[in-house]
Chain A
Amino acid sequence: METTFSALLEDSAEDLYENAPCGYLSTLMDGTIAKINATLLGWLGHERAELLGRRRFADLLPVGDRIYHETHFAPMLRMHGEIGGIALELVRADGTRMAVLVSSTVKTSANGTAQLIRTTIFDAGDRRAYEHELLRARQEAEQERDRVQLLASTLQRTLLPPSLPDVPGMDVAAYYHPASADEVGGDFYDLFPLTGDTWAFFLGDVSGKGAEAAVVTSLTRYTLRAAAVQEPGPASVLKRLNTALLKDQHGATPRFCTAIHGLLEPAEDGAKVTLASGGHPPALVIRHRGAAELLDTRGGQLIGALPDARFVEVELHLRPGDTLLLYSDGLTEARTHGRVRYDEEDLRDWADTLDVGSATETVAAVSLLLDSFGDGVDDDTALLALSVRLLGDERP
């Protein structure tokens, strides 16, 4: 016991410095090497005389690291008086490289003047190899994520019309905001011509998100498009969709949706609209220079849940400047700044104060409203607005 202790005492500070298991380096403030230990000299393969007073610390670095040293390391060290755990490489006398972790502190005199820089250097070969692996894995994950986002956005585009058709005498506008760039949203809308002067439109929301939801959205869109041509009115179109979704129920996740589907017939004095809702939030009518009202379609049931679902059909007339707005619950269930849920009555009261005369202005106003909620919008949001064009002299 006593002999071990005295052996420890004989381990002089000088020997500890020279042969420590890490490199020690002291430099002047300009980086000129003033002192270096045997361990570091051994790693580098340099003679002491080659370095002392003749080379700077940055001279031991490869060029890329030298730039990093000048632009990051040295400024940080000057500002903070210390810097730690920086991954660099040293160039050995034979030109080979060695991965190291470097920490430095500035030694100041009693009056606060910076005198020299003390640096410790650890061999980090194994650690750097491991970090390279981590880095590679992260890069792969980032690429993977880019691919998923590309896939989601491409699939999303196939589920929405690339642009809305021109409807004579009408202004039409739509908006779609997916809640996440990684997943296909569950909201959908469309507007397309039927025979003669009639146009069909729909907007809805399928349960769930992602690939499963995309399958239901696709089925729903094609069914609605086909049924709109064949069935006599919106309520029977939704019935067809109900049957199609019920037939398609296999697998663990039930497939249902909410939707509003309607027919639009532009006329001399405006447009006639017939629409039916299946469990969807009520459409909003914003009368030109008048009040906003929610269309009462209560009683319309969720589509794809019950065999004998009921759907409620209503009719309305749009006059010049009137706007019909369909929206999904991404809007009416958004959390406002007070963190309370926005709801349909809030939307109506807000629309009451709006002074808009076209679908385009309405959609622009609602998208600003959505922006104002910031991260309060946590679901996909779709908007579809239809308005009868004002005659030139009626523009506000």
Chain B
Amino acid sequence: MDARRRNNVTVIGCEDAPTVLLAHGFGCDQNLWRLVVPDLSKRFRIVLFDHVGSGRSDVAAWSPQRYTTLDGYAEDVLEICAELDLRDVVLVGHSVSAMIAVLAANREPERFAKLVLLTPSPCYLDDGDYRGGFTRADIDELLDSLESNYLGWSAAMAPVIAGNPDRPEVAGELEAAFCRTDPAIARVFARTTFLSDNRADLADVTVRTAVLQCSSDAIAPREVGQFVHDRIEGSVLVTLDAIGHCPQLSAPEQTAAAIAEFAGAR
């Protein structure tokens, strides 16, 4: 198993500092952390990776069996930690990766010092009194939206997106490949992301946790952030003054500061 290659793992920052592992969410890749990495890398060792099927991960390693549940992704996170022999990790999971982080930390709590759940939602669908914010019809509509916009996805881009070490000349096309995913894989990831229900897993978290939410987020509303905070005993809830679902882009300094403060605290 070569998790480093499979997940296109990048390690930067201070070698002897505590390790912060940044896990990107649905729709993008590790580039999404680009604006917070400069600040964080001054104080921490930063480990970045792409989920299998995203960014420049090894698309050949993707299989519908492994990646139709978030457990497959959590398994990958643990494999990266094991292969790089990461200890006392501060695992930061954005969006769907917040729940991937919860699953990973519940499997091997001794591996992690802290969890940072950035705009988390344990369940996107409404269910009884729980307001996830979406209905099943909304999610089907998202799948259609993905489908329409991947018309422009071309098979010729596939090797570029997959990351082809034999073709250095395509390195310049990295920008063009940013956030592009094979439509078949994106579809499965979208379903896995938006149809998973991890509410029951929150109570099992024993690792110290911070919940970072945005003041206005159409994907993970504040009630949901509050729900996560209530269910994880001893967790800290921080509301960032930021709009949207990606505060690491819309309010990078504030987000980096919040992560650093919690990660660096004793």
Contacts and interface: CB of A to CB of B under 8 A. Distances in A.
A135 B146 CA distance: 12
B245 interface: yes
A62 B148 CA distance: 14
Nearest to A134: B151
Contacts of B147: 135
Interface in B95-148: 95, 134-135, 138-148
Interface stretch (B7-15, B28-36, B62-70, B200-208): B28-36
Nearest to A77: B249
A75 B144 CA distance: 20
A58 interface: yes
Which residue of A72, A76, A88, A128 has the most chain B CB atoms within 10 A of its CB atom?
A72
A66 interface: yes
Contacts, number: 92
A146 interface: no
A58 B149 contact: no
B138 A63 contact: yes
B27 A72 contact: yes
Contacts of B164: none
Interface stretch (A78-86, A202-210, A220-228): A78-86
Nearest to B193: A71
17 contacts: A58-B218, A63-B138, A63-B141, A65-B141, A66-B218, A67-B134, A67-B194, A68-B142, A68-B145, A70-B218, A72-B149, A76-B178, A78-B249, A78-B250, A88-B145, A128-B148, A135-B151
Interface in A114-156: 128, 131, 134-135
A351 to B, nearest CB: 30
A87 B148 CA distance: 6
A193 B178 CA distance: 60
B244 interface: yes
A30 B149 contact: no
Given A74-B244, A74-B250, 18 more contacts: A29-B250, A31-B244, A63-B134, A63-B142, A66-B218, A67-B218, A68-B142, A70-B244, A71-B26, A71-B95, A71-B245, A75-B246, A75-B249, A78-B249, A78-B250, A79-B32, A79-B179, A135-B148
Contacts of B141: 62-65
A75 B148 CA distance: 18
B61 to A, nearest CB: 16
Contacts of A135: 147-148, 151
Interface string B172-201: 000100110000000000000010000000
B151 A87 contact: yes
A108 to B, nearest CB: 15
A168 B135 CA distance: 63
Nearest to A138: B151
